[in-house]
Amino acid sequence: MGSSNQIQIKKLKIVRFIFIVLSLLVVVLLFKWQVFDNERFVAIANERFKDIKLPSIRGSILASDGSTLAYSEPRFDIYVWLPEMESAENRGDQTRQEFYESVSSILGITAFELEAKFQTSAQWIKIATKIPLESKDALLELKSEDSGKYFRGIQYEYVNRRVYPEDRLASQILGYVGLYDENSQGVWGLEQYWDGTLRPVEGIVSSEFDSFGNPIALADADFVESKPGANLYTTIDKTLQGILEQKLQEGYIDYKAASATGIIIDPKTGAILAMANYPNFDPNKYYETEDFEAFGNKAISTPYEIGSVAKTFTLAAALDLGKVTPDTILLPDGHNGCEIISPDPKPQDNCRNPENNKSDKPVECICTYDRRPVRRTINVLDGLTASDNIAFRHIALTMTYQEFYEYLAAFGAGAPTQIDLPDESYANLKNFTKWNYADQAVYSYGHGYSMTPLETLSGVASLANDGYRMQPYVVSKVVDYDGNETIMKPKILAKTVRAETAKTMGEMMHRVYLNQLIEKRFKYLSKYNIAMKSGTALIPFTDRAGYSGEINATFVGFDVSPEKTFAMLIKLERPQVGDLSYYNARILWLDTFEAIKDHLQVPAY
């Protein structure tokens, strides 16, 4: 008995010793895991948690006829869940090299490039971005040639890609969405201005996954529902937009211009029917654009001295104030081609021979474009049809500085149009309290202050709309995911002149239009009741006072008929062919009008 008890006691001591040793080992291991290996296990645990995005579709942008100008289509980001891949490799179901070769061929990269993506300690490895549905499906159908089993480890996440089906059409109105921007940020145009409206609400599922990449059903999960972005319906007429862009490209080439800009607007509402600049770009391949200026919309972002187009504002103001009528005599004996505007000139001072001037101060002069004397009586209508700078200086003299200033401001000088596009710019209009005799003179014929093409057309278009200047806009309606519609209503920005004045201006500008139909091929256009005005403006130096010999050439015109179907501006920047807008912008305007009149149903007499 005694020996038997001793044996039992020894066994218990051994068991106890083993238990103590094992307990110590457990304590040591726990300490090691908790202290020394903590970061490694936290990283592994974090790898088992994943936020699965549930992307939704960015809103579409549509033309006025409901056709699509921009939309998003399904794309997929591809990942590999490494533990699942390694488990399949350990079972002999697939090999790493076979995986590299098969998957890389679908992704359009080399096996070596794919292998390089695996040089990481992460468990989730992203191997492809925004691949099409066909490629995603092809990846999921891949099998090992040896085992005949599907490759394990491939996971995918739904994303989307922005598509512009009309390529370059309206590119500077639309803008683009960055190809590599994870947040799908809109850049330029409507994509930028309306980004918050177009942007979808992404859903998220946060959950824990097992070693094969499958969600653990009993694990806690957070869920946020996804919602598509709202759709934008625009005022853009695709037919007009296409014609305008084609004509601008032709004018850019034919007249060797630095750029060409065109706008067609509905004067009754302010709706932009077409707006374009050339050069432009393809928003599907924006990253291939070499000329950065092609992204900007010069129609709204580039103020310039508009030249004689501004004579419409000067004359309308004087007519509206009752200072002149179309028959008012401005210069009974005509003029010498130039006129001194310096204060207190001496009798012997003149503009043609500056060395003979005897004034204490430098003599300032204004001249007509050709400096030729006019030896006949000049009335207001004569001054407009000949676009005579000296005549318009005398029209401006009928008004006080304040009166003239207030009309220019009403026509839109010195303020943005508030169009629903980004990066609109404007130039300040000097307050009348700081004007002098020279300001009044040069402002009368469109120099000395600047406006963007859209500001200019918006002001002139008010003369086609009984003197009401409308706020230009591109988006006519917003429709959200639930079908709720927000209609953009036309908005009056200013009352420029009385309806009677606008009517008189239309009649006088129609006379100008008829005088522009010189070429035989344009003669038949006289049956249309169109008002028109040209503008040739010297471009000021950027580094010093004075003007260069280069010009900006502008033509504006509108439908004077009761239908008031359109108003249009064409601008050529620094054209090298033709030293006056008469020889370039006029022809381009008439060519464009020929191409759009039937589509717009412009009435003839």
pLDDT, tens only, 277-323:
999 999 999 989 999 999 999 999 999 999 999 999 999 999 999 99
In which band, very low, low, confident or very high, does the pLDDT at 18 lie, cut at 50, 70 and 90?
Answer: confident
pTM for the predicted model, two decimal places: 0.82
Asked if pLDDT for residue 407 goes beyond 80, the answer is: yes
CB 217 within 8 A of CB 45: no
Which residues contact residue 455 at a Cβ distance below 8 angstroms, ignoring those fewer than 6 apart? 303, 412, 413, 415, 416, 417, 426
User: Is residue 259 pLDDT above 70, yes or no?
Assistant: yes
Residue bearing the bigger pLDDT, 53 or 147: 147
How far is residue 254 from each of residues 107, 216, 262, 278, measured CA to CA in Å? 45, 68, 16, 13
Tell me the residue type at 174.
L
State the fold for domain 51-234.
Answer: Penicillin-binding protein 2a (Domain 2) (3.90.1310)
Q: How far, CA to CA in Å, does 99 sit from each of 86, 91, 121, 145, 474?
A: 11, 15, 19, 10, 51
Residue 73 three-state SS: strand
Tell me the domain boundaries of the chain.
51-234, 238-302+450-476+489-600
In which band, very low, low, confident or very high, does the pLDDT at 14 lie, cut at 50, 70 and 90?
Answer: confident
- What's the CATH class of domain 238-302+450-476+489-600? alpha beta
- What pLDDT digit, counting tens, does each position of 160-203 carry? 889 999 999 999 999 999 865 545 789 999 999 999 999 988 76
How large is the average pLDDT for residues 237-258?
98
Structure tokens at 35: 């202290």
**pLDDT tier for residue 450 given thresholds of 50, 70 and 90:** very high
Closest CA to 271 of 232, 235, 244: 235
Collapsed DSSP state (helix, strand, coil) of residue 60: coil
**Averaged pLDDT for residues 192-220:** 69
Query: CB within 8 A of 517, min separation 6: which ones?
Result: 523, 525, 526, 590
Q: Parallel, antiparallel, or unpaired: how do β-strands 475-479 and 338-340 relate?
A: unpaired
Structure tokens at 90: 């350990």
Confidence (pLDDT) at 555: 97
pLDDT at 209 over 60: no
